[in-house]
Every structure is written in C-alpha cells, then in structure tokens.
Structure 1
Amino acid sequence: MIVHIIKKEIHFRIIKKLCVCFQLLLIVSCQTDDDNPTLPVEDSINGFWFSEELGYILEFTEGNDVVYNINTAGCSIVDDDFELEDFVPSLVSANDLILTTDLNESDFEFTRLSNQNPTCLPDQIADTDDPKVNFDHFWNIFNDYYAFFETRNVDWSQYESLRDQVTTDNFYDILEELVLLLEDGHVSIFDEENGIQIDSGFPKLLETFNMNLSGDFIIENGDDLGDLFGQKATTIVTEYLGGDFEIDERDNILWGLINDTVGYVNVLTMAGYGSDFSNELSTLNDLLDTIMNDISASGVSKLIIDIRFNGGGHDTAALDIVSRFMDQERFLYTKKFRLGNTFTEKRAVSVGPKGDFQFTGDIVLLTSPASISAADLFALCMKDLPYVTIVGENTAGAFSNVLSHTLPNGAEIGLSNEVYEDPQGVIFEAVGIGPDNQENRVPFLSTLDFEEGIDSGINRALELFSN
C-alpha cells in the first residue's frame, strides 16, 4: 500500500562494513479472510478510503490510483500513479476495507469517504519547496501521529514557533535538531534529491557503544561501527565456532556448535530472506526447518541465540523465528496505534510452536543496543520464557513499525506511532529489553574484548550453562 510502513534496519553482513538503510514496506492489500464476507472488489472499491490512525487516504479510480497523507497542516501526495501489483484489497462491507500482509501481524483498517477530504482537493494539495510550509507539515505530522513525546521527555509544543526562524538554507538543520531530541531509532528524515538522511537514534547508539570503548576503538561513524562488527564476527566464528559453521545464501542467519552440548544461532536480520515480499516468510521458514533439523541432529541441550547484530525487519519474521522456541502457545504482547489524543484498541498477539522440532532447552539470548525494531520484538517475546536467560545490554527500545509521511517537498518522514506492551502491560519503548541482573550485563563491544580476542557475552553464557 502506501501505508509506507517501514522498519528501519541496520543490516550486517559477516565481515563487511555496517550498512544503515531504510526499507519502505508498501502495504496495500490483504489476503481474503474466509471467515469474513467480502464484496466483489471490482464493483465497489472505487472511491476514497481513509485510515485515521495512519493519516492515509487511498483513492481508487478507473484511471490512476493515488495515495495521500494528511495532517493538521494539510495534504500531500505520496504516489500519484499507485499500482496494486501483487496486492489484493478485501472489503468486509461497502464502507470498510481491511488491508493485511504476511509481513505484518496487524490489519490496517480503512473507512470509505463519501467525498475527498477538502484539504486533498486538487487546488489545496501542498506541493512546494517553501520551507515554512514544509515545517508546518513536519511539525504537525509528529504532533498528530507520534506516540512517545512523554516517554522521551520532549515537549513538542514549544518548538512550533521555530517556524519563524526557518529558511531554505537552515531548513534541514532545524529539522535535524528536533528529531535528534527524540533519540528514537525509528524517527528519520530522507530526501534523496538533496542528499539528506537523518537518523534520530544513531548518535545515541554510538554514544552507548563508546561507553565501553577507548583509543582506536572509538566509533565516530557508521563505517567505524561496521568495522567493529566485522571484528566481532571474526572472533565469534574463529574462536568459538572454530571456523566450522553454516550460513544461508543471503547471509541472514549463521549457526554452528560451540561444543558438544552448546549450539549457537546468530540471527543477523529479520528481513531479506526471500527474493521478494511474496516469498519472504516461506523462504525464512524453509531455512528455519534446516537450522532446527541441524540443532536436533546435533543433540545439544543448550543454545545461544545472538541478536546483537540484528537491525530488525519484519515483525512476522521475528514471530516465525520465535515459534521455533515455543513450548506452547503463549500470549506475548499487545500493540495499539496512536489515534488523536487517545489510542486504538489493543490488539493481542499470541505465538505457538511451529515446525517439526522446537528447541526448549536452556537458552541464553544475547542482546545489544543495535538490536532494534523486530529484534526488539523478538527479545520482548522471548524474555518471559522460563528456559530463557538474557545476557548483554538492553535492546534499542524502538518497537513500532515506522509510519512514513511525505512532506510537500517530497522528503520522507519516518516516525513511531505504535505502542507495544508485554502481557503485564509494561512498555519498553526507549528502555529496551535487557538482563534481569547486573552479573548478566555484558557489553557487546568493549576494548577488553577486542584486545584479548574474546566475546564476553558468549563467555558469560557458557558460565551460566556450566552452573
């Protein structure tokens, strides 16, 4: 669709430099739910459809289909020649459209509009480089949809007056100052035409890593971080796996044996398993079948699952991986969308065992500040299993899918509009998921580890297993 719902991902490829990228999920369809009556799409879909919590209007016509995003300041066109391609919308009534995708566990609900929103009429649509108009849209997009101002201790209202200071020359400088206040790994600004890419959470990530680094190991940019990731990966595969390991053809999951009783699985990403969206999960599950068969055949009784490199991806990919370590179906979390000054109803998510074999022996889950998005979610789902112990550092604490809106100048704005809660109602946004006790708090990247050629997280896991 043009629910430009995205997951920001920090993709790591073994012994290569870190690549920070954005993936736009164009979610516009749904698989038909046999339990719900549907109407013939070709007879009834034309018209305008509005999602209040997302701020999207879809316009289906006999000609070009159009996607708009709206906020209090006005309306912008996201795509004026939108094509359904592989996606098929389903209608549950003449006025209700539900969009789903295998890559997200939640449905997206749209309501038919009798007429186009007045702000999206042709003579009202904002299409301009005027910095003040674009600032109005930027500020209001966050004011209307961002879910975590209070959580992140930012009084957004005090910055509306910056409009008076905005010029063409300082426009992105001012926007950068504002998004960096949020320190949110799912907040971003991307303007390809002008070479602008601003990541709200990245400076904080480097600051966190540098707390345990010194000298030549200090990280100043993404390339430095990628280099250290590569060194860490080399240590793992040589010193702990003895160079004997398996990795899938897309370098997404690495697995092997540390010794006769301890297995190791490194899940590097929650995306990029298939050749396209349509076979993403089927390809992942074929790979998981292979990995779980290898674990079963090895006879190991203990397992280290490493998500310290994992920059996220698709929620449903994370849940499919979680399912291979479930002993029974469990209620794992809820999520809700910001809706004006309140929220939508919570949507509960449960996961049960999947596949022929599930590993439910002793598990140590290794986490780090780079574990973000769907990796955050993976940790949230695993943390309460009675046979799982978390070792490492808190995850990034950025759970929401990224809601993407477009400014009148064409720049893409990403923000967090969803709130995830564990079964006890605890929200880990901006906090992350980490160890329960200080003894299990081990830095992912440290000068000590690099100088001695060790991995303190794996060492701590082995200590726990030996006890």
Structure 2
Amino acid sequence: MHKLISIFFTSILLLSCETNKSKSTENQEIDLRGNWEYLGFGKAISINDSIVKGFHISSVGNVPLSDNNLSDYFEYYTVDTLSNDTILLKDGVKTFKLFRSDKDFEKDIHEDLSNDPNYNFEVLWHTFNEQYCYFKERSIDWKALYNNYAPQVQSNMEPLPLFLLFEKMLGEIQDGHISIDVPDELEEAYENQTADNGKESNEDIPEGLEKRVKDRIVEKHLKTFGRFNQGELKWGMVDTHVAYMQTSNMISWAHYPIADSLSKDQFWSEWWKKLNQAKNHHDDVAEGTRFIMDSIVRTVADAKAFIIDLRFNGGGFDDASVEILNHFIHNKTEIGTKKVKLGGGFTEKQSIMLTPSERPFKGKLFILTSHETASAAELLVLGSKELPNAKIIGGTTEGVFSDILRKKLPNGWKYGLSNMIYESVDGVSYEEVGISPDITLDYPVRSKDFYEYLLEDVKDGDDAILKVIDEINGD
C-alpha cells in the first residue's frame, strides 16, 4: 500500500508513515543511517544525519558521486515501502529496491588510481561485465574483447588515445544506448582529429533534411494544424475521420508556461532550465504528457482513427510513452515487463501497466514506425501490441529498449550502458531485432537513405498515412 513519507530531523532520523488502510497515523522509528545497496544497477548510498553519499560499485573498486542533501533526496523519489532493511524508491515508472548492507563503500575507493589508464579500463570493463545484459543477443564475446584491448592500454597513455580506445571497444557492441562522454576540451580534440582524417559516416543526415521531411508531411496532409513546445509535437486532422500526431522524442513533453513568442533558442534554454530545476523531471514529463494528450484527444474525439507518427522518434522517457497509451485504453492493461541484470541472472520482473485516462480515444489507433524508432518510443510500439484496436505501419524499429544506466569512471568520464531487459507480456524480447510492423513499407534502414526516401515519397502523399486512410475507408 502506498505510504506518504514525512521526514523529520532530530538526533536520529524518524519517519512518520501514514497508510491508506487506516485513518489513524502509525508512527515508527526507523534509523536509516548506514549503508544501502541497490538490487542490480551497481549502485549504493551511505546515509548519515543529513547527507546521502552515492557510489558506483564494481568488483574492482568504487567511484564516489556527488553528495546529496537528505531531504532533497527523499523529496525526489516516491517512497513506496520502507522498513529497517528495505527501501523501495519510485522514480516515474521505474522502481529501485535498496537493501541494508554491512559493506564500507568508501573503503573501496582508490583515489590514488583515479587517473591511471589501466585502472579506468578495468573499472569500465568490469562494470560492463557485471551490469550489461545483451552480450548474447549482440553476439559479443566480452572476455575476448578484454584480451584484445587490455594489452593496448599503457600506464602513461594520454587522455585522447585512451578515449579512442574505449570508444572503439564499446563500439563493437553496436548498442545505441552505449555512450561515453568526456570533458569539452577532449571532445573538441577528438572532433578535430576526426575532421583531419576526413571521416564522414554514411549515417550522417544532411543538415535540415529531417526537419524538411517532417514539415512536408504536415503540410501535405493536415487540414488543421496545432503544435506544442514550438513544434516539437505537431498534430491535426488529415480529414474529418483521421487525426494525426507527430512527435520527435519522448523528452520534450514536459509542458511549462513559457512564451511561445520566444526564439527557438530562448524557448529551449528556458525549458531545459525548468526541467533541470524540477523536483522530479519524470513527474513533469508525465504531467505534461497528460495535459497535452487530454487536450488533443478532447479536440479529435469524433475521429475514427488516430495516427501516432513515431518514425522520427529516438526515445526519451518511458513516462511519456505510458501516458500517451493511457489515452487509448479503456481498462487497466499490462503491456510488458522489465528486469535488471543481477549477478548471473536478473531481478524479479516488474510489470509495466497502463491506466485509462478520464476520456480515452474511442477509435482505432495506428502507429507509424521506422528503424529510427527507438528506446522509449519502442515501448509505446510494444504497448500498442496489447491494444486490440491498434495497428503498426512502416518499418521495423531499431531494437534498443533498455533504460540507460548512467555511470562514472574514476577519472570523471561519464558513460552509459543497457542493464535492463524489456519483454512483451508473452515473454518476448525485441532487443537488437526490433518490432516488425503489421503492414510493412519498404523503408531504407540507413538514416540518410530513409529521409531521402520519405522526402520523395511524400510528394504524391505519404504512403503510411494513405494506408491508414485506405484502412478506414475499407471498414
């Protein structure tokens, strides 16, 4: 049962828990001071009277994180369950389970090795070895990569060659959720070197092409037109029977009172400022999505069909995908599960649930997809498979589902990896293979080719939208 937690500070930490089962308030003294380890995630915290210290942990050593004020830490999370030995922290649609530990996490911090190239390599490799969950699916022999790359690390290695080595090793996994971020000056040196080498990816999209394609689709097909957040989300009516919504990511759904008259740069500077200052940005995204979807669905309520165009959507927050789908169901619905890498196995599965909005759309739902459709956008596609009135049109999605587990190396470089398995209700993982559409269109897989194809296709009418119109007229 959900508990509302109030935090009081005395000589010890007291928590007052009020349950929904009783009108009376049950007070229990719980001393949270001490060390706590996340179940999965390779993370831990240490709590004293007023500060929460965070750590990334691995078998070869721990990396300290910035300290947090205790009240801020527990205000950010929703505390679902609390006892002397267990904490459940809810962050949007994610839940973390922490258990009390007798480990001294500060003891395993090796500050004297923080800038040692070999030590940073060992932390990176072992963190992936302990947390990454898709080596098998992506046909990667991680130990063989260790044998190949470890001998190339030199004790006097400069940062740029070390970064290039790390990037090359991680690039072999070919997972869109893997990244490594370095300081600006190192990133600039990297870009200068690649520019000098004349490297250009076949995936590079010519400047402005993506925007031109998205704008042409709207101009060609929408009789009425609306937008939110300076056009990051566009919507309108194709005709009297078909509504359309185009969204490029699952991040910019947080809806703040910012003047739309501002320049694009000014608007998004202010938007990111508010998101970063939010008490919980996941809550802001969920609430913004709910507000926007309520407004759109109310306006197009009489339409027979609703198109959600995810062909250009590279993902973001699951919170947005769940809230969008809540507007197309009439009963509480499970759409999948997720589990986290834990040792040689996984944590127990968490269900991903939809809860109907107050006035859900009553017509048919069509999801447009391509190989550009990824991450949180794929969760929406996965969820739509559990809706009896939904159909997927377009190309197979990219196949990168996991939340990104953010990590930090001893030298301060930050990186991300996949540590979570998403599965359909019937236990199927679409990682790496992607979700195939119900109606397949011959979209190119390479990004540049895909956008050039659509730019030509939309001249006579977008095939995907025309397919929806045919489906509706055929009823």
User: For the superposition of Structure 1 and Structure 2, which TM-score range results when normalised by the shorter chain?
Assistant: 0.7 to 0.9
**Equivalent position of 2:409 in the other structure:** 407
Q: Which residues in structure 2 correspond to 1:257-268 (within 5 Å)?
A: 257-268=237-248
- SS of the residue corresponding to residue 313 of structure 1 reads coil
TM-score, normalization: structure 1?
A: 0.80
Matched position secondary structure for 2:66: strand
The equivalent residue for 1:304 is 307
- Counterpart of 2:163, as a letter, is Y
Aligned match for 2:438, one of 436, 439, 444: 436
1:107 offset after TM fit, Å?
1.4
Q: Which residue of 2 aligns with 1:112?
A: 100
Partners of 1:41 and 1:177 in 2: CA distance: 53
Q: How many angstroms does 1:237 deviate by?
A: 1.7
Cα displacement (A) at 1:115: 4.3
Query: For 1:76-114, what per-residue CA distance to the aligned partner results, in whole angstroms no more than 9, with x for missing partners?
Result: 11224566524257462111111112x2x2310111123
2:392 aligns with: 390
Residue 8 of structure 2 corresponds to none
Alpha-carbon separation, structure 2, partners of 1:128 and 1:312: 33
**Inter-partner Cα distance in structure 2 for 1:374 and 1:123:** 34
1:455 positional shift: 2.6
Higher mean displacement: 227-236 or 407-416: 227-236
- The yes-or-no answer on 1:143 pairing with 2:143 is no
Give the count of matched residue pairs.
408
- Find the counterpart in structure 2 of residue 228 from structure 1: 209
**How has the CA–CA distance of structure 1 residues 122 and 261 changed in structure 2, closer, same or farther, with 3 Å as cutoff?**
closer
Aligned with 1:177 (options 154, 168, 181):
168
Alpha carbons of structure 1 residues 317 and 89: separation in structure 2 relative to 1, 3 Å: closer
- Once residues 290 and 106 of structure 1 are traced to their aligned partners in structure 2, the CA distance between those partners, rounded to angstroms, is 26
Q: What secondary structure sits across from 2:331 in the alignment?
A: coil
Shift in CA distance, 302/115, structure 1 to aligned 2, threshold 3 Å: closer
* Cα displacement (A) at 1:230: 0.6
1:248-263 to structure 2, matched below 5 A, reads 248-263=228-243
> Aligned partners of 1:32 and 1:430: how far apart in 2?
44
- Whether 2:103 is the aligned partner of 1:98: answer no
1:328/1:60 CA distance change after superposition, 3 Å: same
Superimposed CA distance per residue, residues 212-245 of structure 1 (whole angstroms, 9 cap, x where no aligned partner): xxxxxx97565x3562211111211211115x31
Change (3 A) 1:460 1:308: same
> Which amino acid counterpart does residue 392 of structure 1 have in structure 2?
G
Is the CA contact (8 Å cut-off) linking 2:17 and 2:27 kept in structure 1? no
The residue aligned with 2:258 is none
Percent sequence identity is: 27
Give the Cα separation in 1 of the matches to 2:226 and 2:86.
47
Cα offsets for 1:126-173 (capped at 9, x unmatched)? 652211111001100100000000001101011222222113242112
2:126 and 2:21 map into 1 onto residues whose CA distance is 36
Q: Which has the higher contact order (CA 8 A, sep 6+)?
A: 1
Q: 1:135 to 1:326 in 2, by over 3 A?
A: same
SS of 1:74's equivalent in the other structure is coil
**CA separation in 1, counterparts of 2:285 and 2:372?**
23
Residues 155 and 40 of structure 1, relative CA distance in 2, 3 Å threshold: farther
Please identify, of 326-335 and 36-45, the stretch whose mean Cα deviation from structure 2 is larger. 36-45
- Provide the C-alpha distance between the structure 2 equivalents of 1:419 and 1:36, rounded to a whole number of angstroms: 34
2:34 is equivalent to residue 47 of structure 1:
yes
The alignment status of 1:131 with 2:117, answered yes or no, reads yes
1:413: Cα distance to partner? Answer: 1.5
1:185 partner amino acid: G
Task: Please state whether the residue corresponding to 2:398 is helix, strand or coil.
Answer: coil
- Structure-2 separation of matches of 1:36 and 1:401: 34
**Cα distance 1:88–1:447, how it changes in 2: closer, same or farther (>3 A)?**
closer
Take 2:144 and 2:26, find their aligned partners in 1: how far apart are those partners?
48
Contact 1:219 1:225 in 2 (8 A): no
Amino acid at match of 1:51: Y
1:269 match: secondary structure = coil
Structure 2: tracts of 5 or more residues without a match: 1-15, 189-199, 256-273
Measure the CA separation in 2 of the matches of 1:84 and 1:126: 32
